[in-house]
A and B are shown apart, each in its own frame.
Chain A
Amino acid sequence: MAENPDDKELLFQFRNEATKERAFTSIIKKYQEKLYWHIRRMVVEHEDANDVLQNMFIKVWKNLENFREDSQLYTWLYRIATNESLTFIEQQKKRSSVSLSDDENSFSNKLQADKDFDGNKLEWKLQLAIQQLPEKQKAVFNLRYFEEMPYEEMSRVLETSEGALKASYHHAVKKIEEFILNR
């Protein structure tokens, strides 16, 4: 297998029983950091991010054989990662016995509990602001702001139209601005 095989080659190797595990390991190593940070910005805590990431890759293992390749591999991976994160957050909400308004702040609480948290720093304020956003809007903002993902690609990840994504991003930025300026 080549030093940095492209996705097509990895998919081909994955479908061969003799090289399946090796190909899968390569896929993990190629995308683990990008996917991890995308998940982490959604769920905040490392332990949760790790759980979601591992569950996500297990799903990949089970379903990659049937991947139709009508999108890029990484687009497909991001979709699974985002859906797993949103599912996790929903489950957290259901488990939580507090009211909805309190629950919206639970990820803010987790953020402020981080040992490196510094409320005086703008980058931490930004993270706090992001945690105030609705979950899907949070995903839109993160993918655009941190991952610099084109809207065309994002529409395949989130299965939403480009127009809706642009509007969502615009609203997200405005909300963040208001939060930071008023805090």
Chain B
Amino acid sequence: MSTSLIGARVARKEDYRFLTGTGQYTDDVALPRQTFAAFVRSPHAHAVVRKVSTEKASKAPGVLAVYTGADLAAAKVGGLPCGWLITDVNGNPMKEPPYPPLAQGKVRHVGERVAVVIAETQAQARDAAELIEVDYQPLPAVVDAAQAARGQALHEIAPDNTCYVWALGDRNAVDAAFAKAAHVTKLDFVNNRLIPNAIEPRSANATYSRADDSYTLYVASQNPHVERLLMTAFVLGLPESKVRVVAPDVGGGFGSKIFLYPEDVVVTWASRQLARPVKWTSDRSEAFVSDAHGRDHVTTAELALDKEGKFLAMRVRTTANLGAYLSTFSSCVPTILYATLLAGQYTTPLIHCEVTAVFTNTTPVDAYRGAGRPEATYVVERLVETAAREMKIDPAELRRKNFIRQFPYQTPVALCYDTGNYDATLDAAMKIADVDHFRDRREQSLRRGKYRGLGYACYIEACGIAPSNVAGSLGARAGLFEAGEIRVHPTGTVTVFTGSHAHGQGHETTFAQVVADRLGLGMDQVEIVHGDTSKVLFGMGTYGSRSIAVGGTAIVKALDKVIAKGRKIAAHLLEASEADIEYDRGEFKVAGTDRKKTFGEVAFAAYVPHNYPLDKLEPGLNENAFYDPANFTFPAGSYVCEVEVDRDTGAAQIVAFTAVDDFGKVINPMIVEGQVHGGLAQGIGQALTEMCAYDGDGQLVSGSLADYCIPRASDLPLFKVDTRETPCTHNPLGVKGCGEAGAIGAPAAVMNAITDALGVKDVPMPATAQNVWRAMHRSA
């Protein structure tokens, strides 16, 4: 191969099956003697469960079993664990209330599981579930995060509904800097709660074998090994070796499929009780109330500047709504993944952030595309843009005055950026967006009855999660390395096993490009395998844009071992010194000669070792590697959004959106562009359309797609996307990750554009037509 596969627009290998309907998702898995589960869910946000009557349901046609929280408690099934311990400002551990898979004594959010019916068919299970009578004694619901401390306690362990109060930074130094500031910009806002809505709803199908006392769980998960670890070690008390978890094709996750969910535990446990496979697949209505939600912060943020516009300090107070229970990684999202990003792209020397995390009678909140980093970017970029307007400095200019330009750069909030070039992305974005002629476009819009606005967002994110020692010191209860294995077959083809998991990202193509490029093989000689604990040696899964940076690096490390062993084998075959063997695009060569062996010949020799140094070298060509990153990676970029607002109705339309990202080295630009487009769509959805709303009783008002608006293609402009590369300094591919960027940077860019269009300080997110109309009339 003469041209590199790195940077090539290779068509996605996996798309054939996705586009022809031949993908195999969890719900497609049909096992012999299959049974079906239906969950009875609480209609109340907060209630005492006085009695659950299951007699009628038990006798209904096709019903095999009905279980309640009492059955699980009697079987000593544990509660769901939280994977990250946050230590509060007083040095105390966060409050960790029990999270039983089926309610015990109380329900704490609409949609909480109270009982499960297992029947021969899905329809029979659902029909019987309606026959279960639950005697509830409703309690006052706590819905508003800002008022949670004064509400009725959800959990005994947290009488003030506070999980923790946590802080980062030097409060006194920050306060002193504010006292001396020439200008202070202050904003109060809500970062709106979002409901993920992956196109494939969650699904789990568990089967138990009495023959060897083992379980297999098929589940729509982003990280099957972590699912297994949490379920076996913390909930069911089983040896991991007895449980196989398979996450087959998964139709989108966006974070919502990272977590261990009660349904997964219940079907796994029930499969042994019945000695039959038990399947549950969520419908869309269940997904709205039972998939972990995202965001939901109430924040007061302040930026102190000197008279030239240099940032002196930032002060942030956030109340984070965790929902009713601690979902798997909920505790680290508004803390470790949020406050650490508040430096953004700037040299702000002093930052203090205090986060109060509260329980409310709402669906649990956890990581959702970006997880903490969109919230941080929103704080920083709304503050910076607002400060520029208040000080009458051009917003791009104010950013440039404060950009970090020396790397590595240690922020005051614990991160050390290895590399970046923020001027490069901003310059490119402004040029592509034609910012110079914005005023002309604004005038043209005005003639058509539209207010036009332009907004920037210059975001940074910390990806490649994470150096395990750093994560551990911050409370992580798991390692965050990744594993990879290269299995070279006797014919010279390669199967790659990765602990990363693809649920739309295109790993089967991107990872194959890395491997094929490094070995000098064709794309069709490399197969990527993921998502099965019985095949992949270990894995921590996919989230936080970590797959290429951490998972890809583990693969590269294993590849290096394969090549190293191959050189030994080739040296023997070529009767040369190992030191003289070079590997170049599929051939082991003796340096300076034309003597060589192909990769295939070496692989064959490894498995048919007729002529092989068996006294010095094991046969076979199969290597694995674990990789724990030395640092986070720091993708960054500049976004420019232009909106038009209908001055009669308040409806906002995005008319142009430019995104210039620095993801380090790009393996497949086409896939990266797709990731950016999808991220932007989700970020724009948060900014404009996605309105999650509970009423005062804790009922989810936006409980279906008829009320919860996910943006359609027609709501979005043709994105202009480009990249600039500063390669990551601490992984061999120089990659940083691209999965979340769009969702991180877009909301601030959109809201900066809308507030610019209207000439107002703030508009609540999402900027629906009504919210914009109200903002216009408030200012009028």
A and B bind: no
Which of B's residues lie within 8 Å of A, judged by CB? none
Which of A's residues lie within 8 Å of B, judged by CB? none
